[in-house]
Structure 1
């Protein structure tokens, strides 16, 4: 099926921007703010209309999600809902998050990513990339089966990887109820501190798991040597 022309002004700006991405930029390719403004000269808030596509499942990364991009560049990663089709592209009910709300949510979440635990500005292990904290909208399935959107603090890496993820509160509560008394007490302590302290052995296991196979074999040999296996 042939797509409408992105220059057809009977479509709104957001729909034309979507068609421009698909037919001119192409998935996986980079475009600049200058490219966008050249394509839509004199169009007010074209950057915002482009961002609105994210509410319809479109993935458009900036240098916050993709460190290989410059500040003036964006990458069209994935096409979402075909907003130009009849009945599609209607405004979503989600409300913009204010700067004050953002600060309050990050503070309540302990000033770290709730998915991986990294703090804002902390360097990702093995890289020179610093984590940036932002707010993600997370689908949460309640114990009664209903689904609601809640706001959570995530770093730039986890926020991209977690798109489309639904957290199941009912499953979590069910697992909590199945815990024995000792396990329940241990978990309650972690919850009260909002953190878990890992032992040296657990950290060593995590380091081992991250090694390439050739290096993992050397660790296995070392363990066999010490144990006389």
Structure 2
């Protein structure tokens, strides 16, 4: 089936928005709500029709997911189902999370991004803005080989980088089984505290790695001199 024109008014507004994104914006392109409304003058709730496309697999980022965007911008990341084809793009049941579900996931994740550990409102540094937390859907490969979608808290930066990734629980558990007794006890302490603790040696190594070349050479010579 040929892709129709976004200007064809026999289609509903959601379909026309999808076609406008494909034809005018293009995958990877930026657009503003003002541009969307200008393209569809007089169409009520055109912003909502755009958001409805996400339920059909269309990936449209805001500045929350993509810090490179201005607050009034969106990015058309990826096309989903061809909603102009009859029977395609029907909203799936239980697609949206309730406020209670979102709160429970964030509470379980200690209100931190589970990928980088940043908290809501904390600065990314280097002028990259502050973190905004949201709920991401992560595909998890279970020990039996089946997969399921689980919810996890992530910041706006990590959601972009982790989109489409799969967590292999089988590989992780296999790695745990291969640990020695001492390593397993250390890992258990980290898991119970939900935080990794660093030894004095690891802290010294981390500080050394951050030094300029001249300072690193001084430390290297000092350590080699003591060890010889």
Q: Do both share a fold (TM > 0.5)? A: yes
State the Cα deviation string for residues 45-98 of structure 1 (Å, max 9, x = none): 432332233344433221212334333221223334444346643433452112
Unmatched tracts of structure 1, length 5 or more: none
Alignment partner of 1:197 is 2:197 = yes
- Give the distance between the partners of 2:19 and 2:209, measured in 1 at CA: 44
Which 10-residue stretch deviates more, 78-87 or 98-107?
A: 78-87
Which 10-residue stretch deviates more, 99-108 or 134-143?
A: 99-108
In the alignment, which residue of structure 1 is the partner of 2:218?
222
Alignment partner of 1:37 is 2:37 = yes
- Asked if 2 retains the 8 angstrom alpha-carbon contact of 1:15 and 1:89, the reply is no
Aligned-pair CA distance for 1:42: 4.1
Aligned-pair CA distance for 1:201: 4.8
Q: Quickly say closer, same or farther: Cα 1:141–1:24, change in 2 above 3 A.
A: same
- Asked if 1 retains the 8 angstrom alpha-carbon contact of 2:55 and 2:95, the reply is no
In the alignment, which residue of structure 2 is the partner of 1:120?
120
SS, match of residue 148 in structure 1: strand
In the alignment, which residue of structure 2 is the partner of 1:145?
145
Aligned-pair CA distance for 1:166: 0.9
Which residues in structure 2 correspond to 1:4-153 (within 5 Å)? 4-85=4-85, 88-153=88-153
Unmatched tracts of structure 2, length 5 or more: none
Which 10-residue stretch deviates more, 23-32 or 218-227?
A: 218-227
Tell me the TM-score normalised to structure 2 length. 0.83
SS, match of residue 167 in structure 1: strand
- Give the distance between the partners of 1:190 and 1:198, measured in 2 at CA: 10
State the Cα deviation string for residues 170-205 of structure 1 (Å, max 9, x = none): 111221122111111111111111111234654565
- Give the distance between the partners of 1:223 and 1:56, measured in 2 at CA: 57
- Give the distance between the partners of 1:26 and 1:33, measured in 2 at CA: 15
Aligned-pair CA distance for 1:109: 0.5
Tell me the TM-score normalised to structure 1 length. 0.83
Which residues in structure 2 correspond to 1:167-206 (within 5 Å)? 167-199=167-199, 201-202=201-202, 205=205
Aligned-pair CA distance for 1:103: 1.6
- Asked if 2 retains the 8 angstrom alpha-carbon contact of 1:131 and 1:155, the reply is yes
Aligned-pair CA distance for 1:209: 6.0
